[in-house]
Amino acid sequence: MSVALGITRPPLVRTIPIDHPGDLVARLPQAPPYAWVHRGEGMVAWGEAARVDVPPGPGRFDWARAWLADVFGEASVDDGVHVPGSGPVAFGSFTFDPDAPGSVLVVPRVVLGRRNGRAWLTTVGEAPMELMTPPRGPGEIRYGDGSLTAPQWQHAVGRAIGEIRSGRLEKAVLARDLVATAEREIDVRLLLRRLADAYPDCYTFSCAGLVGATPELLVRHTGQEVESLVLAGTTYRGPGPAEDHAQAAALFASRKDRYEHACAVASVRDTLAPLCAELTVPDQPELLVLPNVQHLASRVRGRLADGASVLDVVAAMHPTAAVGGTPTGVALEVIRELEGMDRGGYAGPVGWIDGRGDGEWGIALRCAQIEGRRARLFAGCGIMGDSDPAAELAEAQAKFRVMRYALEG
């Protein structure tokens, strides 16, 4: 960390307990924000004590862990709280495709956290004075096609269905993008505010311009305990309770959605089993109800057999069948052939890791990459042999609404 700071002595990382900080998102200054918030708890951060672009390739998670060990090892740590997320912390975003550039790790200068009734403040070196200004709206938003038009994407879905029916693979997840251009520079704090308020059951995140509210927890690592929330199988929200119930019943009865979910759960189970001394996988999914959609959900829990860090688990799990397909290798080939775009951080791991190896990482869904006045929105759908291209397009449009709401209010 001293190299990144341009100093010769080890920086002091100090974590102190504080009184209840109130709304975490509201405490963010104008500096580019980092965030991981769920039901009002989590962490927000700003400033950069250290930052690195992780080289692409199959060994990127090993490289990232080694870099973090060096950076955290240089620091002098005074941690008066000793909870997951206290002490030195890095936020990170990894690209979906391991061969694509764009993965990044950042150690913020200031971290504000709250968990289970305890709150803390972490500073690295001298905390910078940041400008506290109210976020300003982006003004008028204009939308345009991304890499593929809607008809072109439907055609790609049709081709994926053909590949599945031919026996090449069982499932492929195809994504599409949408480009938004704002009248003024987009203030990420405003997006975080709207997302955290509207989607409290999701994990609202911000890292290096990638902003969103994902419902999917890839892994939570606390000591030796790990947990993953698997989502696959989606339907819309109805206009009222009766319609909601009918939609949920149809989702549970859908052979296509249940099989898609089973593939995703099997992917996580098979990945975690070699790492865990104990593993609990539910027999049946439950329903996760969000403001815009409903998902089939399964919570998988385990106890690690050794001292693996959260990044080791992330490396083993990504990409899951929920965002790639089955079998994974063939699904990635089909995605590269048909999507016509680089996903960047979309559907890649995003989250945080502390100096003990604990952390929380989600799959970057319901998100956008923000650059000045431009936002690139993403949405994806699980394609099976009996999928309907028009229905998949409608599902993608429904998933775009999350970030459209964040931009437009």
Question: What CATH superfamily is the domain 2-135+143-408?
Answer: Anthranilate synthase (3.60.120.10)
pLDDT tens track for 310-357: 999 999 999 988 899 989 899 999 999 999 999 999 999 999 999 999
Query: Is residue 5 predicted with pLDDT exceeding 70?
Result: no
Residue closest to 244 by CA, chosen among 252, 87, 19, 314: 252
pLDDT band at 105 (very low <50, low <70, confident <90, very high): very high
Among the residue ranges 104-108, 255-259, 401-405, the one predicted with the least confidence is 255-259
What is the pLDDT at residue 1?
A: 47
Q: Is the pLDDT of residue 291 over 90?
A: no
| pLDDT of the residue at 97 | 95
Question: Quick one: pLDDT at residue 127?
Answer: 72
Question: Is the per-residue pLDDT at 198 higher than 80?
Answer: yes
The tens digit of pLDDT for each residue in 213-259 reads: 999 999 999 999 999 999 988 888 888 889 889 999 999 999 989 98
Using the predicted structure, report yes or no on whether residue 305 has a pLDDT greater than 90. Answer: no
Mean pLDDT in residue range 176-193: 98
pLDDT-based confidence at 11, cuts 50/70/90? confident
Per-residue three-class SS string for the chain = CHHHHCCCCCCEEEEEEECCCCCCHHHCCCCCCEEEEECCEEEEEECCCEEEECCCCCCHHHHHHHHHHHHHHHCEEEECCCCCCCCCEEEEECCCCCCCCCCEEEECCEEEEEECCEEEEEEECCCCCCCCCCCCCCCCEEEEECCCCHHHHHHHHHHHHHHHHCCCCCEEEEEEEEEEEECCCCCHHHHHHHHHHHCCCCEEEEECCEEEEECCEEEEEECCEEEEEEEEEEEECCCCHHHHHHHHHHHHHCHHHHHHHHHHHHHHHHHHHHHEEEEECCCCCEEEECCCEEEEEEEEEEEECCCCCHHHHHHHHCCCCCCCEECHHHHHHHHHHHCCCCCCCCCCEEEEEECCCCEEEEECCCEEEEECCEEEEEEEEEECCCCCHHHHHHHHHHHHHHHHHHHHC
Confidence label for 307 from pLDDT (cuts 50, 70 and 90): confident
Asked whether residue 8 carries a pLDDT value surpassing 80, the answer given is no
Residues serving a catalytic function are 171, 216
Tell me the domain boundaries of the chain.
2-135+143-408
**What pLDDT is recorded for position 292?**
83
pTM above threshold 0.85: yes
Average pLDDT, the chain: 93
Q: For residue 7, is pLDDT > 60? A: no
pLDDT, position 123: 96
User: Which pLDDT belongs to residue 73?
Assistant: 92
pLDDT of residue 9: 56
If one compares 131 and 93, the residue with the highest pLDDT of the two is: 93
What's the mean pLDDT in 193-197? 97
Q: β-strand 76-79 against 12-18: which pairing, if any?
A: parallel
Among 63-72, 191-200, 290-299, which is the least confidently predicted range?
Answer: 290-299
| Banded model confidence at residue 111, pLDDT cuts 50, 70, 90 | very high
pLDDT for 132 equals 77
Rounded average pLDDT over 52-78: 96
pLDDT at 207 exceeding the cut of 60? yes
Q: What's the half-sphere exposure (Cβ side, CA atoms, 13 Å) at 216? A: 28
Percent of the chain exceeding pLDDT 70 equals 97
6 pLDDT band, cuts 50/70/90, is very low
Least confident stretch, 128-142, 212-226, 377-391: 128-142
